[in-house]
C-alpha cells in the first residue's frame, strides 16, 4: 500500500482561503480535512464535505467532485466566502493537477508596434507555445498604429460593422480567435494586453470565475492608481462611472490558453458608433440607452498619459508575480506571420460568419 500526504490552497477572488489536506492511498483520497478562514453553517456541514471527498479516486473529474460535495451538504447550509468549486480547486492543487501563480516563472513582453493581424496571430502562437511547455506563462502588451475593429470569433461581420463608416474612417476589420464582442481600436486610444497561461492555472474554475481570477492583478493596479474597478459578469471591467474594458478567452487543445483584455483610454465615441452597429438589444441589460455613455475612458479617470497607465499596471504584475522581461522569439514571429498569411488575413477567416 502506497500513501502520500497532500496539501493545497486556493484564495477565492474577493472571498476566503480554502485549504485541503489529505492522504492519497493507492490512488484514493483518505483522511480529508478541508479548512480555511471561510464561514460555514451549520458546523456539521464541514464533516459532510470531508466525507464526500473521502474515498474518491485522485483522477475524479472536477465536476464530479463538485456535484458530490453539493449533494452531501444540507440544502439549507450557508457557505460564505467559498463554495464547492473552491474546495475542488484546493484539492486539485494538492494533487498537482491544478497550479497557482507561484508555481510558474512569469515573463512580460513590453509593447512593440505591430500590425493588428500580427498581434492577433501572436495570441494563438504564444498560447500554444505555453501549452506545449515551450515558453513560460507570459503577459504581452499590445501596440499598433492603424485603426481596426476586432470582432469576436462567432460574430457576424455585417451585423457588427457598418461598412460605409469603416471605409470612411479607414478602419480595418479583423477577427480574433476568442468569442465576445467587437472592439474598436485606434492607435493610442486603447490599452490591450494578452495573458498566455496553462489551463492548469484555472483548473476546476468556471469560465465566469476565471475572468476576475486572471485579472486580479489589474484590479490591484487600478486600486493603486485610485481607480475603483470591478468585474461585471461575464467579461466587462467597469468603474462606478461606466465600463472601461472587456475580456475574452480562447482555450486550445494542447492545454494553453489566451486571456486578452482591451480597455478604453481615450476613445472617439462618435467614430466608434459610426463604425460599429450597436443595437438596442446589446444595450438592454447594461442599464443605459447610449453606447457612448457606457464607456468611460481611463484618460479621464486617471488623468495620466497612456504609457504611464501601462507602466503602472505592468509594474503591478511584475512585482506581484516576480516576472522577468521576455520577448517574442524569431521562430514565434515567423509562425505568427505565416498564420496571418494563411488564416487571420484571409477573407475566409475574417468573413467566416458573414
DSSP class of 8: E
Angle formed at CA 140 by CA 114 and CA 145, multiple of 5 degrees: 25
Strand partners, 30: 23
Distances (CA, A) of 271 to 281, 292, 297: 20, 10, 15
The pLDDT, as a whole number, for residue 315 is 98
Distances (CA, A) of 337 to 37, 122, 177, 274: 49, 8, 15, 31
**Could you give the CA distance from residue 243 to residue 182 in angstroms, rounded to a whole number?**
14
The pLDDT, as a whole number, for residue 278 is 80
What strands lie across the sheet with 236-239, from one edge to the other?
230-232, 236-239, 242-251, 256-264, 190-198, 138-143, 107-113, 324-325
Q: Model's pTM, two decimal places?
A: 0.91
Nine cell digits for residue 41 = 453553517
For cell 475603483, what's the residue? 228
Q: What digits encode the pLDDT tens for the residues 196-235? A: 999 999 999 999 999 999 999 999 999 999 999 999 999 9
The pLDDT, as a whole number, for residue 14 is 85
Q: How many CB atoms lie within 10 A of CB 58?
A: 19
Strand partners, 36: 18
The pLDDT, as a whole number, for residue 294 is 63
Output the DSSP codes for 218-251: HHHHHHHTT---EEETTTEEEETTEEEEEEEEEE
By DSSP bridging, strand 138-143 and strand 107-113 are parallel
> CA-CA-CA-CA torsion for 225, 145, 260, 102, nearest 10 degrees?
-60
Q: What digits encode the pLDDT tens for the residues 177-190? A: 999 999 999 999 99
Whether the bond between 234 and the residue before it is cis, its omega within 30 degrees of 0, is yes
**In order along the chain (354 residues), what is the average pLDDT of each group of 10 residues?**
94 93 97 98 97 98 97 97 97 96 97 98 98 97 97 97 96 97 94 98 94 96 96 94 95 98 93 82 44 74 96 98 98 98 98 96
**Could you give the CA distance from residue 8 to residue 99 in angstroms, rounded to a whole number?**
10
**Could you give the CA distance from residue 138 to residue 107 in angstroms, rounded to a whole number?**
5
Is residue 147 within 8 Å of 170, Cβ to Cβ?
A: yes
Amino acid at each position: 500500500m502506497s500513501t502520500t500526504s497532500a496539501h493545497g490552497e486556493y484564495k477565492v477572488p474577493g472571498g476566503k482561503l480554502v485549504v485541503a489536506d489529505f492522504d492519497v492511498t493507492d490512488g484514493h483520497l483518505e483522511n480529508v480535512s478541508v479548512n480555511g478562514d471561510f464561514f460555514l453553517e451549520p458546523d456539521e456541514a464541514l464533516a459532510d464535505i470531508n466525507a464526500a471527498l473521502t474515498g474518491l479516486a485522485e483522477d475524479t473529474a472536477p465536476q464530479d467532485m463538485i456535484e458530490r460535495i453539493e449533494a452531501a451538504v444540507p440544502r439549507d447550509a450557508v457557505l460564505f466566502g467559498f463554495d464547492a468549486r473552491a474546495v475542488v480547486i484546493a484539492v486539485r492543487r494538492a494533487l498537482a493537477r491544478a497550479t497557482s501563480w507561484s508555481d510558474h516563472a512569469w515573463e512580460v513582453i513590453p509593447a512593440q508596434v505591430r500590425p493588428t493581424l500580427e498581434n492577433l496571430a501572436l495570441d494563438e502562437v504564444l498560447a500554444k507555445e505555453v501549452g506545449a511547455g515551450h515558453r513560460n506563462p507570459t503577459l504581452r502588451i499590445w501596440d499598433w498604429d492603424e485603426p481596426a475593429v476586432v470582432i469576436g470569433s462567432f460574430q457576424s461581420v455585417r451585423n457588427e460593422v457598418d461598412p460605409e463608416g469603416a471605409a470612411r474612417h479607414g478602419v480595418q476589420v479583423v477577427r480574433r480567435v476568442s468569442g465576445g464582442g467587437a472592439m474598436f481600436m485606434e492607435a493610442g486610444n486603447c490599452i490591450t494586453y494578452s495573458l498566455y497561461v496553462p489551463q492548469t492555472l484555472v483548473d476546476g474554475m468556471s469560465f465566469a470565475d476565471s475572468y476576475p481570477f486572471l485579472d486580479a492583478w489589474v484590479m490591484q493596479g487600478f486600486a493603486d492608481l485610485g481607480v475603483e474597478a470591478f468585474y461585471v459578469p461575464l467579461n466587462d471591467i467597469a468603474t462606478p462611472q461606466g465600463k472601461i474594458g472587456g475580456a475574452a478567452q480562447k482555450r486550445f487543445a494542447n492545454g494553453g490558453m489566451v486571456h486578452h483584455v482591451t480597455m478604453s483610454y481615450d476613445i472617439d465615441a462618435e467614430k466608434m458608433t459610426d463604425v460599429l452597429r450597436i443595437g438596442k438589444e446589446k444595450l438592454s441589460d447594461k442599464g443605459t440607452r447610449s453606447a457612448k455613455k457606457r464607456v468611460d475612458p481611463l484618460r479621464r479617470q486617471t488623468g495620466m498619459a497612456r504609457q504611464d497607465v501601462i507602466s503602472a499596471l505592468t509594474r503591478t504584475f511584475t512585482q506581484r508575480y516576480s516576472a522577468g522581461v521576455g520577448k517574442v522569439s524569431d521562430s514565434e514571429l515567423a509562425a505568427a506571420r505565416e498564420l496571418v498569411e494563411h488564416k487571420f488575413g484571409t477573407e475566409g477567416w475574417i468573413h467566416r460568419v458573414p
